[in-house]
């Protein structure tokens, strides 16, 4: 009995479809690619039951001619490539000729289109691999592609799908991912009859990306648009500054020729570009749009086209890192009222408890509309102004008197650190929670993390002053083969840092001298040498960070006024106020914002 037989065409088509179509999100990905390739300027996505019951993509693109519709949905039927050489010059999002074939094999697929070229409309239905005759029904313009009852004839596959709400969320995420790279296209997303997303056409990439970033509370002022060009490629990056961060890499988005791709080396370039602008464990918001010569990229790797090979990856990697290093600046965090109108309105109402003003705002039980409150305030104004009609003249006279006193009186001496005439005086106020130094400077109030600030000052001093002290008794180190080899290759780095190492045997080293500031923390230095495997530049920075961290004033330490003022003087002289680990240690509060939060409007 023969054991080898040819599979039924319908069965083989469903097996092949499994490589391309995993869930409604996969269907949407392929249909969006086709709509964008058709030159659409408007795309409307509508789903029911998470896209499992129905998923429809309508566009106003060029449409499909009836003659082409006869082959549409057949395996490897495509208008994007014709020869083997075309695989290395791909300029469209789709090219494999598998998408509609796969969707039609696992759902009821309806393609209704109006060809802008032939001016005729057609409709084709493929129901789980079974083709129907082409009819003349069609929209007035563009194409509407609908997938219904996904995996209805493959219950085993359907059982692995998530709940409808989860599948809908995945579809929305995919639409956002696609939409970011095409600001000139309007995207609308409708789920179960309700509009969940409607992004209009935009003129720039930043304008489009800000639709996403504003949803996370990121202001336009906290983002930068960077651009660079190289041989055969260009890169545009929309990125947040140091005040914008998150705990994962999900918002480092990479696009190559309009496709969202998973490319770790580019994500790594973004992280290198930020360097120490962000503290450890934090990651930036950055959308990287790479336009590369088609012959230098290869997308023919995976059916989902999420992977790419880039031949000039090294040049692009360097360009991205350099752009971010020079273009992204550190921003001092500011405390500001989230809802100024809430503080203003409630400050005028005597029936709102004090605690309510600084808690999460809730709608009062007897809510008074803003218009009515404004009217009430207007009615009360005469009661104050009519008491003294000459108040304006008196105020002017008082101000003139004060001005004359300022002209004749000597200039006041600042309480705090002596400043040059070109500097804004710093007034030290005190210490809060044995952690923050409070200082006033101009119209701004600063909270300074005493440990991180002192750590940075010590770090800079260690870098500039390297005093070496010989040890009476050398410190012995026993290392494994990797550690032995690493120190042997990097011993000159340690020597330059003031740490003298000598090898006495295989895997045995001795520390014979240390920087003077390291004597109290010999154990930490020893542990660092035994465990560190960094390159030369990172090794130096990491070592001094360890030394500075151990020697700095700790959280919980009391600090006298003179020491605090000296520390603040050095802090405000820094160009980049961040500890050696990359954490910003200043928080700023403007006087006008503090007045606003307290309900003091004048």
Q: Where does a domain end: 352, 382, 400?
A: 400
* pLDDT confidence band for 292 (50 / 70 / 90): very high
Q: Is 107 contained in some domain?
A: yes
CA-based Rg of the chain, rounded to a whole angstrom?
33
Whether 353 and 492 share a structural domain: no
Whether 594 and 479 share a structural domain: yes
What pLDDT was estimated at residue 382?
Answer: 38
Is the pLDDT confidence value at 127 over 90? Answer: yes
What pLDDT was estimated at residue 349?
Answer: 43
Given phi > 0 = left and psi -120 to 50 = alpha, else beta, which region is 275? Answer: left
What pLDDT was estimated at residue 7?
Answer: 55
Is the pLDDT confidence value at 372 over 50? Answer: no
Is the pLDDT confidence value at 489 over 60? Answer: yes
Is the pLDDT confidence value at 341 over 90? Answer: no
Which residue would you say has higher pLDDT here, 547 or 504?
Answer: 504
Is the pLDDT confidence value at 145 over 90? Answer: yes
Whether 103 and 180 share a structural domain: yes
> What does the DSSP assignment read for 397-451?
HHHHHHHHHHHHSPPPPPSSS---TTSPPEEEEEEETTTEEEEEETTEEEEEEHH
Q: Where does a domain end: 270, 292, 327?
A: 327
Whether 184 and 96 share a structural domain: yes
Using DSSP, state whether 74 is helix, strand or coil.
Answer: coil
Using DSSP, state whether 570 is helix, strand or coil.
Answer: helix
Over residues 231-259, the mean pLDDT reads 92
The mean-pLDDT minimum among 39-43, 289-293, 582-586 falls in 582-586
Q: What percent of the chain has pLDDT over 90?
A: 29
Using DSSP, state whether 469 is helix, strand or coil.
Answer: strand
Contact (Cβ atoms closer than 8 angstroms) between residue 301 and residue 260: no
Whether 33 and 166 share a structural domain: yes
> How many C-alpha atoms does 351 have within 13 Å on its Cβ side?
6
Q: Is 46 contained in some domain?
A: yes
How far CA 525 is from CA of 43, 339, 481, in Å, comes to 60, 49, 20
* pLDDT confidence band for 532 (50 / 70 / 90): confident
Whether 217 and 157 share a structural domain: no
Is the pLDDT confidence value at 168 over 80? Answer: yes
Is the pLDDT confidence value at 503 over 70? Answer: yes
Among 173, 157, 172, smallest CA distance to 22 is for 157
Whether 54 and 135 share a structural domain: yes
What pLDDT was estimated at residue 543?
Answer: 73
What pLDDT was estimated at residue 483?
Answer: 82
The mean-pLDDT minimum among 96-110, 123-137, 224-238, 372-386 falls in 372-386
The per-residue pLDDT for range 542-559, each reduced to its tens digit, is: 776 777 777 778 777 888
* Residue 9: its H or E element: helix 9-20
Residue 228, burial from CB neighbour count under 10 angstroms (0-12, 13-18, 19+): middle
> What does the DSSP assignment read for 115-137?
-TTT--EEEEEEETTEE---BS-
The mean-pLDDT minimum among 44-48, 91-95, 126-130, 345-349 falls in 345-349
Q: Where does a domain end: 183, 199, 215?
A: 199
Whether 323 and 358 share a structural domain: no
Q: Is 332 contained in some domain?
A: no
Using DSSP, state whether 324 is helix, strand or coil.
Answer: helix
Q: Is 409 contained in some domain?
A: no
* Residue 247: its H or E element: none
What pLDDT was estimated at residue 455?
Answer: 81
CATH number of the domain where residue 247 is located: 3.30.230.10
What pLDDT was estimated at residue 386?
Answer: 42
CATH number of the domain where residue 506 is located: 3.30.1540.20
Distance between first and last Cα of the chain: 97
Instruction: Name the residue range of residue 145's domain.
Output: 9-199
Q: Is 357 contained in some domain?
A: yes
**Average pLDDT over the chain, rounded to an integer:** 79
Q: Is 376 contained in some domain?
A: yes
Whether 225 and 193 share a structural domain: no
- For the chain, what is the domain count? 4
Whether 235 and 252 share a structural domain: yes
**DSSP assignment, residue 578?**
B
Given phi > 0 = left and psi -120 to 50 = alpha, else beta, which region is 289? Answer: beta
Q: Is 416 contained in some domain?
A: no
Over residues 145-156, the mean pLDDT reads 92
Whether 367 and 307 share a structural domain: no
Over residues 1-27, the mean pLDDT reads 68
Q: Is 226 contained in some domain?
A: yes
Could you tell me the pTM of the whole model? Answer: 0.62
What pLDDT was estimated at residue 87?
Answer: 57
Q: Return phi, psi of residue 44, to 5°.
A: -120, 125
* pLDDT confidence band for 59 (50 / 70 / 90): very high
Is the pLDDT confidence value at 35 over 90? Answer: yes
What pLDDT was estimated at residue 278?
Answer: 83
Whether 268 and 284 share a structural domain: yes
* pLDDT confidence band for 336 (50 / 70 / 90): low
CATH number of the domain where residue 19 is located: 3.30.565.10
């Amino acid at each position: 009995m023969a054991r080898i037989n040819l599979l039924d065409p319908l069965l083989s088509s469903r097996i092949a479809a499994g490589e391309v179509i995993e869930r409604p999100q996969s269907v949407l990905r392929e249909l969006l690619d086709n709509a964008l390739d058709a030159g659409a300027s408007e795309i409307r996505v509508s789903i029911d039951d998470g896209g499992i019951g129905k998923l429809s993509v309508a566009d106003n693109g060029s449409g499909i001619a009836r003659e082409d519709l006869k082959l549409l949905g057949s395996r490897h039927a495509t208008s994007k490539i014709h020869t083997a050489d075309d695989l290395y010059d791909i300029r469209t999002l789709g090219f494999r000729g598998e998408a509609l074939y796969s969707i039609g094999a696992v759902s009821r697929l309806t393609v209704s289109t109006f060809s802008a070229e032939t001016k005729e409309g057609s409709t084709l239905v493929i129901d789980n691999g079974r083709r129907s005759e082409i009819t003349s029904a069609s929209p007035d313009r563009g194409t509407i592609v609908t997938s219904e009852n996904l995996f209805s004839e493959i219950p085993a596959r359907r059982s692995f799908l998530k709940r409808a709400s989860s599948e809908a969320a995945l579809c929305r995420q995919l639409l956002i991912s696609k939409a970011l790279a095409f600001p000139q296209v309007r995207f609308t997303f409708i789920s179960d009859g309700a509009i969940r997303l409607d992004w209009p056409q935009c003129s720039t990439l930043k304008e489009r990306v800000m639709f996403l970033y504003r949803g996370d509370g990121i202001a336009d002022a906290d983002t930068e648009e960077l651009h660079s060009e190289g041989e055969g490629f260009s890169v545009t990056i929309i990125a947040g500054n140091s005040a914008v961060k998150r705990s994962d890499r999900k918002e480092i988005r990479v696009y190559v020729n309009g496709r969202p791709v998973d490319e770790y080396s580019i994500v790594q370039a973004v992280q290198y570009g930020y360097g120490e602008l962000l503290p450890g464990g934090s990651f930036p918001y950055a959308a990287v749009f790479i336009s590369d010569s088609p012959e230098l990229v290869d997308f023919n790797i995976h059916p989902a086209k999420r992977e790419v090979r880039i031949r000039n990856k090294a040049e692009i990697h360097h360009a991205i890192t350099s752009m971010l290093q020079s273009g992204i600046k550190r921003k001092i965090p500011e405390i500001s009222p989230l809802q100024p109108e809430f503080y203003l309105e409630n400050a005028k109402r005597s029936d709102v408890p004090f605690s309510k003003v600084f808690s999460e705002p809730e709608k009062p039980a007897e809510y008074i509309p803003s218009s009515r409150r404004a009217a009430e305030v207007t009615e009360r104004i005469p009661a104050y102004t009519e008491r003294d009609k000459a108040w304006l003249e008196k105020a002017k006279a008082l101000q003139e008197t004060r001005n004359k006193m300022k002209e004749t009186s000597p200039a006041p001496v600042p309480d705090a650190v002596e400043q040059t005439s070109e500097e804004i005086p710093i007034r030290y106020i005190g210490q809060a929670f044995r952690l923050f130094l409070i200082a006033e400077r101009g119209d701004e109030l600063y909270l300074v993390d005493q440990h991180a600030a002192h750590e940075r000052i010590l770090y800079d001093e260690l870098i500039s002053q390297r005093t070496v002290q010989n040890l009476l008794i050398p410190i012995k180190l026993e290392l494994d083969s990797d550690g032995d080899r690493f120190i042997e290759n990097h011993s000159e780095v340690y020597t330059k840092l003031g740490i003298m190492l000598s090898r006495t045997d295989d895997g045995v080293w001795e520390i014979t001298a240390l920087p003077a500031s390291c004597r109290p923390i010999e154990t930490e230095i020893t542990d660092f040498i035994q465990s560190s495997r960094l390159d030369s530049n990172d090794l130096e920075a990491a070592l001094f960070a360890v030394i500075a961290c151990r020697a700095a004033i700790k959280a919980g330490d009391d600090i006298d006024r003179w020491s605090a003022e000296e520390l603040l003087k050095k802090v405000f002289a820094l160009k980049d106020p961040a500890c050696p680990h990359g954490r910003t240690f200043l928080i700023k509060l403007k006087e006008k914002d503090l007045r606003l939060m307290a309900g003091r409007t004048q």
